[in-house]
Amino acid sequence: MQFELTQEFLESIIQAIEKEDDAFLKSTFDDFYSEDIIPIFWELDNLQRRYILNLLDVESVARVISNLDETTRHELFTLFTPKEIARFISELYSDDAADILNTLPVKGREEIIAHIEDTETASHINELLRYDDDCAGGLMAKELVKANINWNVKQTIAEIRRQAENVEKLYTIFVVDDLDVLLGRVSLKKIITSKDTTNISQIYEPDIVRVETFMESQEVGEIMQKYDLESVPVINVQGKLVGRITIDDAIDVIKEQAVEDMQAMAGISTPVEEDDTVWKLSKARLPWLIIGMFGGLTGAAFMGLFEQNLVLIPAMAFFIPLITATGGNVGVQSSSLIVQSLANSDGIEESNWKRLKRVLLVAVFNAFIICTIVFIFVLLIGHPIKLATVVSSALFFVVLLASVMGTITPLILDKVGINPALASGPFITTANDLLGLAVYFGMASLLYQI
């Protein structure tokens, strides 16, 4: 059953801390997952958080710390010595440890690493700190299980038992040569069902998906998603096995990219969190709001050019929101589909002409339905047939043009290396507003011969 924090429960925890009722707190948190402790921590001050952590075993403390947000974790670290933090860090996978240490100042980071007693763990973390966060090297963990191609099954099982002590999730056994060059993989099923004297060279699979340390994390996530992998080995430029990336890390990358795309589509220029500072949130939102503002001012100035049309046919003003809203909606729909297609690309590139042809066919069908409904509606509410023709004809062409704009804009942005999700936000809406107004007043000028 999923844990839900109540005010009553929170008050009982705070009272237990004030009374130093360690027995109650231990018995309570022994039944908790580390993820369930995080909502409680948000409601406590740092001294109360430290009191609880001092009652937990070191593994539980490590998991709680790894799940905290960066700001809370930094505040909490000020209450612990580098040696105490090193004990917690040592319990984490090397990639999680490196991610946490990467957020600290260099001096604090080095002090903590210096207190890590296991030299192999310290070495792994130091190696991972060399890589950027957004590449496979920064995403991988050093903990893995590998077998030499010259071993037999009996030797391999003995090594699995030894190596797996530091590996919580064992997905596959990687096969390497004497120089640690990755050759393939062997499943646990084959190892268990084979005779002790069988050589790994006889049962391993040489066909294995791998990624290089310098590969972008987004590409790694796409590869794991495409091939439905639970883990993927990471190699360096010499082809040596240097780590592995597990599905939980890939999911984090996919989620992060989805959030960035969603924020870009909403006109937020840089990734932000709800609890970020007012200045950071404002700075992320303002650029596209200002662009939208200038787009609106341009639209107002543009309408001024057709003031004569509105003076002669005041009823035209009633349908301006319809024109702009329809163009914006159609553009966002089209661009969103293209962005989704680009994000889920499986390596088979569809030609842009084929995309455009399909978009135009859909646009013609939708435009015909919409303009027919609008034409009938305008007549029913008592306007002349000429105005109904202007509004419905303008809508027809607005839908066509907005569909084309919504299709080609993300494709162009993708080609020049800009996040195509930007095309689904205020950019495409503002552009289609101006385009819709031009078509609307242009049709009026043509049919009314103004």
% of the chain with per-residue pLDDT over 90: 33
H or E, element range at 119: helix 119-128
Mean pLDDT, residues 392-402: 90
Q: Please state which of the ranges 54-63, 211-220, 427-436 shows the lowest mean pLDDT.
A: 427-436
CA distances to 62, 267, 313, 337, 424 from 408, rounded to whole Å, are: 48, 19, 35, 12, 12
Residue 343 pLDDT grade (very low, low, confident, very high; cuts 50, 70, 90)? low
What secondary structure letter does DSSP report for 134?
A: T
H or E, element range at 153: helix 153-163
pLDDT tens-digit map of 264-303? 655 565 665 665 666 776 776 677 677 777 777 777 776 7
CATH number given to 7-134: 1.25.60.10
Whole-number pLDDT of residue 369: 93
- Class assignment of domain 146-247? alpha beta
Residue 159 pLDDT grade (very low, low, confident, very high; cuts 50, 70, 90)? confident
Q: Please state which of the ranges 120-124, 199-203, 346-350 shows the lowest mean pLDDT.
A: 346-350
H or E, element range at 208: none
Domain extent listing, the chain: 7-134, 146-247, 278-448
Residue 347 pLDDT grade (very low, low, confident, very high; cuts 50, 70, 90)? very low
Residue 129: is its pLDDT beyond 90? Answer: yes
Residue 425 pLDDT grade (very low, low, confident, very high; cuts 50, 70, 90)? low
Provide φ and ψ at 116, rounded to 5°.
-75, 120
Fold of 278-448: Tetracycline Repressor; domain 2 (1.10.357)
Mean pLDDT, residues 121-125: 92
Task: Please give the Cα distance from 228 to 205 (Å, whole number).
Answer: 17
Task: Please give the Cα distance from 86 to 119 (Å, whole number).
Answer: 12
- Distance of alpha carbon 54 from its chain centroid, rounded? 34
More confident residue, 29 or 416: 29
Task: Please give the Cα distance from 330 to 349 (Å, whole number).
Answer: 24
